Each structure stands twice: as C-alpha cells, then as structure tokens.
C-alpha cells in the first residue's frame, strides 16, 4: 500500500495535546464546565500518531475512545491539566492546546453538598491559570499551537491571541456556526502565524471532517517547524 504524503512527517517527534472540557468543582456533587466534546483534540491525537508521532493526550472528562497507540492521561480541573502538561512538556516537540479550559473556577470548594436556602445565591469564581500561555512563555517552548473559539471578530481575536500568548500558530474557530465546532463531527478553521519576518500569514482549512482538519493543522505545523519559518 502506498503511503500518503503526510505519513511519516512526524516520525520521531513527540506531540503533546490537551483536549475536552475541564470540570471545576463547586461541592462534592456539582461542577462548572462547558460543552466541549473533545472530538477535535482526539482527532489531532489520532492523526498525529498516524503521521508517525509519539502522542500524549491530556484529556478532560469526555466520552471518547482513546486513539490507537496514544498515551492518554485523564484529568478533571484546569489546575490538574496544567500539572499534567508541565510534567511532560519538556519532552515535547509540539504542544497543541485544544482543550476548552474553564477560564474560572469556584473560589472555594465546599466540603459537603451545598443546601438551598435563600431565593438566590452568588457563586464566586477566580481565574484559572492559562495553560497555553504558560507553556508558550516558558524558556524553551515546543512548537506551540493554540485554538481560538470566537463567536464574532474571529480573525481579529485570533491574531491578538497569537501575538499576546507568543504562539507559533493559532487555529481560529467560529463557534457561532453550530454546524461546526464543539459537538459536531466537522469543523472549519483558519490558521494564522507570523513568519520569520514577523509578517502575518494565514491559511484557511475549509469545512471538512475533524480528521481532515487535524491533518491540515499538523501538516502546517510540521512544515513551519521544519523550515524554521516562524
Ligand atoms: N487555554 C488554556 N488555558 C486556559 C484557557 C485557554 O490553555 N486557562 C487555551 C485553549 O486551549 C485554547 C486557547 O487557550 O488553545 C484559547 O482559548 P480561548 O478560550 O479561545 O481564549 P482565552 O485566552 O481563554 O480568552 P477568551 O475566552 O476570553 O476569549
Ligand atoms: Ca477561554
């Protein structure tokens, strides 16, 4: 059988991926989370492995089978996800932050189930650490790819995140279109990066299966990493 052109492109490379939502405990029986299915991150893990990489997948709670030959580490909260990433990131050539990390967590986790009393209550939240920005600003970061989930001004916010978080590349996702993203099997994104002259470059990946989108992201990342043009 003939190998497709992308096969073996990531041979000998270690790819670290975050996927799925995080879950932030309120009390022993409740949490704050989001609708991320994990499908995009799991597709990235499966395709990276097919392209020859050694893949570690740090997954928040999601009901998906582990792709063949992928090392999966299950976590719940953003803080656990950060710890799992930091324990493994020095060995990685590529870091892809696909997880929908909860931006905030409850300031305090109640030891026992909170009972209802008043007609309203306020839940105080505190900012979670930014896993992607933490990795990208480390002293010797891997080739770091972020995602930007936006409902409006998608390209503008994505380019801002690319620069502010000092990423090698960003995949911008329009989550206002419910036929793509989150729970869907398809996606459409735009890739943005700064070349070695600091000129903004982009490449649209038109609506396709999450497997095909994953392949497009990984091929572009491998190309930039190899040519050093970022
Ligand atoms: N991310 C992360 N850790 C966080 C928040 C986000 O690693 N605590 C990563 C996501 O995995 C994604 C990227 O940062 O790759 C952008 O996530 P997004 O929610 O679009 O952006 P934020 O920086 O959180 O900004 P906002 O939600 O305000 O748009
Ligand atoms: Ca966010």
Task: State whether ipTM is beyond 0.85.
Answer: yes
Query: Would the CB of 97 count as within 6 Å of ligand 1?
Result: yes
Contact 29, 51 (CB under 8 A): no
Q: Which atom of ligand 1 is nearest to the CA of 145?
A: 15
Is 128 annotated in the active site?
no
pLDDT tier for residue 1 given thresholds of 50, 70 and 90: very low
Ligand 1 site-directed mutation target among 81, 82, 148, 171, most atoms within 8 Å of CB: 148
pLDDT score at 174: 87
Listed as own residue / partner, the contacts of 129-134 with beta carbons closer than 8 Å and 24 or more positions apart are 129/78, 129/79, 129/82, 130/101, 130/165, 131/18, 131/78, 131/81, 131/82, 131/85, 131/97, 131/99, 131/101, 132/97, 132/165, 132/167, 133/164, 133/165, 133/166, 134/82, 134/86
Q: How far is CA 1 from the centre of its chain?
A: 33
Query: What pLDDT is attached to residue 2?
Result: 55
Average pLDDT in the 35-42 region?
Answer: 95
Phi/psi class of residue 98: alpha, beta or left (left: φ > 0; alpha: ψ in -120 to 50)?
alpha
Determine whether the shortest distance from the Cβ of 101 to ligand 1 is under 6 A. Answer: yes
Q: What is residue 5's predicted lDDT score, i.e. its pLDDT?
A: 62
Of residues 1 and 42, the one with the higher pLDDT is 42
Task: Give the Å distance between the CA of 33 and the centre of ligand 1.
Answer: 14
> Across residues 183-197, what is the average pLDDT?
92
Which ligand is closest to the CA of 173, given by its number?
1
In this prediction, residues 176-204 reach a mean pLDDT of 89
- 148: Cβ below 6 Å to ligand 1? yes
The lowest-confidence range among 69-78, 133-142, 181-190 is: 181-190
Considering only CA atoms, give the Rg of the chain: 18
Specify the residue with its C-alpha closest to ligand 1, atom 20.
148
pTM over 0.90? The answer is yes
The predicted pLDDT at position 87 comes to 98
* Tokens standing for residue 21: 């939502």
pLDDT band at 179 (very low <50, low <70, confident <90, very high): confident
The pair of structure tokens assigned to 61 is: 């709670």
The average pLDDT across 161-176 equals: 94
Q: Which residues of 139-168 are buried (b: 16+ CB within 10 A; e: fewer)?
A: eebbbbbbbbbbeeebeebbbebbeebebb
Which of the two residues, 213 and 4, has the higher pLDDT score? 213
pLDDT band at 112 (very low <50, low <70, confident <90, very high): very high
The torsion angles phi and psi of 59, rounded to 5 degrees, stand at -110, 130
The Cβ of residue 123 has, within 10 Å, a number of other Cβ atoms equal to 12
Q: Determine the average pLDDT of the residues in 169-190.
A: 86
Q: What is the pLDDT of residue 72?
A: 98
């Amino acid at each position: 059988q003939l190998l497709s052109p992308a096969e073996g492109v990531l041979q000998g490379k270690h790819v670290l991926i975050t996927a799925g939502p995080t879950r932030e405990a309120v009390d022993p029986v409740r949490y704050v989370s989001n609708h991320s299915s994990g499908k995009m991150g799991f597709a990235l893990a499966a395709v990276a492995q097919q392209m020859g990489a050694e893949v570690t997948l740090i997954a928040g709670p999601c009901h998906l089978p582990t792709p063949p030959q992928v090392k999966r580490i299950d976590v719940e909260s953003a803080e656990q996800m950060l710890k799992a990433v930091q324990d493994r990131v020095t060995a990685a050539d590529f870091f892809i932050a696909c997880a929908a990390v909860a931006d905030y967590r409850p300031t305090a986790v109640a030891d026992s189930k909170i009972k209802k009393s008043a007609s309203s209550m306020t839940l105080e939240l505190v900012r979670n650490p930014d896993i992607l920005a933490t990795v990208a600003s480390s002293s010797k970061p891997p080739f770091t790819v972020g995602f930007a989930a936006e409902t409006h001004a998608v390209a503008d916010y994505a380019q801002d995140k690319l620069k502010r978080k000092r990423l090698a590349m960003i995949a911008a996702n329009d989550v206002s279109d419910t036929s793509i993203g989150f729970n869907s099997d398809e996606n459409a994104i735009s890739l943005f990066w700064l070349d070695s002259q600091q000129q903004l470059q982009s490449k649209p990946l038109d609506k396709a299966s999450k497997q095909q989108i994953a392949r497009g992201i990984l091929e572009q990342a491998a190309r930039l990493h190899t040519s050093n043009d970022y």
